[in-house]
Every structure is written in C-alpha cells, then in structure tokens.
Amino acid sequence: MSTRSTKSRFVVLSGGVGGAKLALGLSKVVPARDLLIVANTGDDFTHLGLHVSPDIDTLIYTLGGVSNPATGWGRVGETGAFMEALGAIGGETWFFLGDKDLALHVERTLRLTNGESLSAVTADLARRFGVKAAIVPMSNDPVPTMVKTTRGTLAFQHYFVRERCRPRVTGFRFQNVARAKPEPRFMQALNDPKLAAVIIGPSNPFISIEPILALPRVRKRLDRVPVIAVSPIVGGQAIKGPAAKMMRELGIRASALAVAERYASFCDGFVIDEADVALAGPIAKLGLRVLIERTVMKTLDDRVRLGRAVVAFAKRLSRKGRP
C-alpha cells in the first residue's frame, strides 16, 4: 500500500463558530473514526457556579444540528425564562444562558464535581446529541485565557461578552498552560502514523488557536506533521468576532497574509478566500502552498465543499517538508 493511502486521519483545531462550521463540513467527508476535533478551552469559565465551555458546546450543537444559526453559539429555538427570572431578583445577566443550554451546564458541572474528566463528560454529551466524530477539549486542566488590555487584564468572557471586546488589547496570557497536559487522545492523534494532516480552522489565532498551540509538546509536534490552516480573515475583515480588531491593536496588519506569517513556521498549506487571491503570491513566498477557495460558510453546502477541498488539499501536500 502506498504511504498516501495509509494516512487517512485528521485532527482539527477549533475555536467557536468558524471552526465548528468547518468541523461540520469535515465530518461529512471524513469517516468519524478518522476525525478528531480538538476544542479550545481557554474560553471556559465558571459562571453562576456552572462550568461553561463555550467552544466545546458550539461544536456539540453545530455537529448535533441544534445550533442557533443567528448567533452561531447556543441552541436554536432557545428561550430565556431563567435569565429573565434571574434578572428580576438582581442576578447577573450579562452572559446569556438559555434555558435548554442551561441544562447542559448544570449536568456538566455536576459530573465534573463528581470527578469525571472534561473529556469524559464531553464525549458523553456529544454522543447524546448524535455527534459521531470525537470532540475533545484541548486539555483536562484549566487554561483560562486572560486578555491584557489598556484597561487592565480581563478574564476572557469579561473581555469578550461583558465588555463587548471594547478594551484595546495589548496581549494574552494562557494561565497554567505550562503545567497543563494536552488531552491524551489529542497527543495520541498527533503521534499517529496514520495522521494525514492537522487542520487549523478559520478561528481567531490569538484566542482560539494559540491557547492550543501553547500546550506543552503540541507546537513542537506540528513541526513533524502536515499542517493546513484556513484563514479566519477575508478581505481584511474577520469572518466573525474580534480577530481583525485585535490584529490592528497589536500593530499587525489585518489580513490573511499576516495570519499566514504567524503560522508560517509550522504550517505547510494555507487556505485563503477568493477575495484574497492577490495574497496568494506573497503567502507562497513564505514557503506555504496556497489553496484559493470560497471560505465564507453560509450554508451546509459551503461547509461540506470547503471540508472536501481542505481534505483534497491535505492529500496533495506531500509529507512534511517545505516545497
């Protein structure tokens, strides 16, 4: 059998909405046994006494077919009776927990308190939502993202939701990351001889992907496996969220080229949108192979088409080694 045909497995690194859309597309073209989806947990926090894992939940709801299409996070057909009742008695309502979503946070918190790992809870919840591909947290250890801003350092959801990303960002800190262990299946998948490629979803590089890369041994391992990234920036704008704003505040051009530069030391292939065709040459000069595709995923067809294109791209890329 040729080397190429034995390499059939994919690891996807995902933040919230964009990564989850690509993961859904990939789940339609890669058999479930060959796909491992690794969720950023830097956004996790304890709120109202509950363990909330936004990126894991966005993945579960998206792949489970129950995500809210308007927001990308939370559940479709959600109601807000709990929030309304909480507000009426003076509780904190800046972070919206829908009634159905709440059930998941309560159940997860209970199981974590009873000693189950975040991996075990995630696997069981995903199964109950009918998700076939494996979703794992990047680590079972807490690695909360702290956002450094000109108004001081803020816990991630305080920056993102409570302050609506308004403070000017000066940097990030992934608390406890040096002591955290990557989730065992994640590490196993990175060391699997059948690994075809690691796919970095179109997620925010600073707050969704870099917390995963900062875990011990992960970044080093990427030097030895094919890596493909999909740009989260299209035409100088973030598809969703504050990535472009953060780049500008950090003195980095908001462009797909700047993301490619950030990933160039470990990335082999970079997927850009048709709108950024002019950047193909400069990105290729970084030593990356470039795929030009429609990367803005509005429909399920868009997600599947992009998933298929990324898999085909991965198969075309030779084993690790710059062209």
CB-side neighbour CA atoms (13 Å) of 291? 23
144 near ligand FO1 (CB under 6 A): no
- Alpha-carbon distance of 225 to 220, in angstroms, equals 10
> Is the Cβ of residue 209 or residue 256 nearer to ligand FO1 in the bound state?
209
CB of 151 to ligand FO1, least distance (A): 19
Near ligand FO1 by CB under 6 A: residue from 11, 62, 73, 198: 73
Question: Side-chain half-sphere of 219: how many Cα atoms within 13 Å?
Answer: 14
Measured from the CB of residue 165, what is the shortest distance to ligand FO1 in angstroms? 9
- The CA-atom distances, in angstroms, between 272 and each of 1, 269, 306 are 33, 10, 11
Phi first, then psi, for residue 86 (nearest 5°) are -65, -45
| Binds ligand FO1 (CB under 6 A): choice among 13, 23, 97, 135 | 97
Closer CB to ligand FO1, 74 or 205, in the complex = 74
Query: Which residue, 68 or 237, is less far from ligand FO1 as judged by CB?
Result: 68
Considering the complex, state which of residue 25 and residue 42 has its C-beta at the smaller distance from ligand FO1.
42
Closest CA relative to residue 15, chosen from 34, 35, 36, 43: 43
Q: Are 274 and 293 in contact (CB under 8 A)?
A: yes
**Alpha carbons 133 and 130: distance in angstroms, whole number:** 9
- Is residue 101 a contact point for ligand FO1 (CB under 6 A)? yes
Place of tokens 């989260």: 232
Q: Give whichever of 60 and 314 is closer to ligand FO1, judged by the CB atom.
A: 60
Which of 96, 99, 109, 175 is in the footprint of ligand FO1 by CB under 6 A?
96
Nearer of residues 16 and 232 to ligand FO1, judged by Cβ: 16
| Residue 16 is a binding residue for ligand FO1 (CB under 6 A) | yes
Residue among 242 and 307 whose Cβ is closer to ligand FO1: 242
Q: Got the DSSP string for 295-311? A: ----SHHHHHHHHHHHH
Amino acid making up residue 196: A
Give me the sign of the Cα torsion angle 228, 35, 3, 294. negative
The pair phi, psi for residue 12, each rounded to 5°, is -110, 130
Total residues in contact with ligand FO1, by rule CB under 6 A:
16
Least CB distance from residue 179 to ligand FO1, whole Å? 23
Q: Is 232 in the site for ligand FO1 (CB under 6 A)?
A: no
Site string for ligand FO1, 34-63 (x = CB under 6 A): ---------x--------x-xx-x------
Q: What Å distances lie between residue 286 and 113, 260, 261, 299, CA to CA?
A: 47, 8, 7, 32
Work out whether 205 is an interface residue with ligand FO1 (CB under 6 A): no
Outline where 139-183 has alpha helix (H). Answer: 156-157
Binding residues (CB under 6 A) for ligand FO1: these are: 15-16, 43, 52, 54-55, 57, 73-74, 95-97, 101, 157, 160-161
